[in-house]
């Protein structure tokens, strides 16, 4: 970080897998990064695919771990839902009053801001996914809903993998959503990284001429997303991309970060 701190005006951070993990786990050196950038007066943003609560709550979760992002500095994939829902309703495609929801209980707060209720049998065949907390029965029920005419899948968190504290990783909501999409053939809308809307929101909150670096642990969302945004990127090696898979993943996606951050 000492080599790049003066090169950029704004630093965007992924949360889980980059700064912290489940519970109160904080990665070694992450708080020191954050504090040094705050002290240097840099613009900081938490750019996360977590859709498990409102931005203010996600900011508080980060602050509880020592990373004091404000709600205004926090941009989540879930926060993009309201604008999309309003546009869908305006076009008369779906009413979106009800959805079958797969995710944490607090994620219903995100739905609530859009006037959406989570129910077992929605009037319209719509399913929203924010985490991989689906039992086999829930998964099968979601497939049945989505297989109907005009089925719509809302992927609030497109992350396919999440790193564990022990260095392994587990498939999460993006993986679950892809299986739902393939089995049902439903129209699918994605929110968050690497898709353009979240980066447009980030850019709106930064100084117009800011030189921006995105720091994350995933090539497909953080590094590729930064490329979509026109930002430079730094990849924390060995978190969400096993070091032995790094070269093949870069070749597959035809993208490389500007910097590699290797944990000590």
Domains of the chain: 10-77+194-261 (3.40.50.1000), 79-190 (3.40.50.1000)
State the average pLDDT over residues 229-245. 93
Ranges of beta strands (E only) in the chain are 10-13, 43-48, 74-76, 98-102, 117-118, 126-129, 152-155, 161-163, 169-171, 187-190, 212-216, 232-236, 259-261
pLDDT digits (tens, 9 = 90+) for 61-81: 999 999 999 999 999 999 999
- Is residue 177 over pLDDT 80? yes
pLDDT digits (tens, 9 = 90+) for 21-38: 998 999 999 999 999 999
Position 235 scores a pLDDT of 96
Position 3 scores a pLDDT of 81
């Amino acid at each position: 970080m000492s080599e790049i701190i003066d090169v950029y005006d704004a630093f965007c951070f992924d949360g889980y897998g980059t700064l912290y993990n489940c519970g109160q786990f904080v990665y070694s050196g992450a708080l020191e990064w954050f504090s040094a950038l705050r002290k240097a007066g840099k613009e900081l943003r938490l750019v996360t695919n977590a859709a498990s609560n409102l931005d203010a709550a996600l900011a508080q979760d980060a602050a509880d771990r020592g990373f004091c992002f404000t709600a205004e500095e926090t941009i989540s994939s879930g926060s993009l839902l309201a604008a999309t829902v309003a546009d869908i309703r305006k076009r008369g495609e779906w009413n979106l009053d009800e959805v079958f929801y797969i995710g944490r209980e607090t994620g219903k707060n995100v739905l609530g801001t859009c006037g959406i209720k989570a129910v077992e049998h929605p009037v319209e065949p719509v399913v929203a996914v924010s985490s991989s907390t689906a039992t086999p029965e829930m998964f099968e029920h979601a497939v049945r809903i989505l297989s109907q005419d005009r089925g719509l899948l809302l992927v609030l968190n497109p992350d396919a993998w999440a790193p564990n504290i022990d260095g392994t990783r587990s498939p999460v909501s993006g993986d679950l959503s892809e299986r739902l999409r393939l089995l049902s053939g439903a129209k699918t809308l994605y929110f968050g990284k690497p898709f353009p809307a979240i980066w447009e929101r980030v850019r709106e909150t930064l100084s117009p001429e800011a030189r921006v670096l995105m720091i994350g642990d995933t090539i497909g969302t953080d590094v590729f997303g930064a490329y979509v945004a026109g930002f430079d990127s730094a990849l924390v090696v060995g978190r969400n991309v096993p070091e032995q898979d790094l070269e093949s993943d870069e070749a597959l996606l035809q993208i490389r970060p500007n910097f590699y951050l290797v944990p000590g």
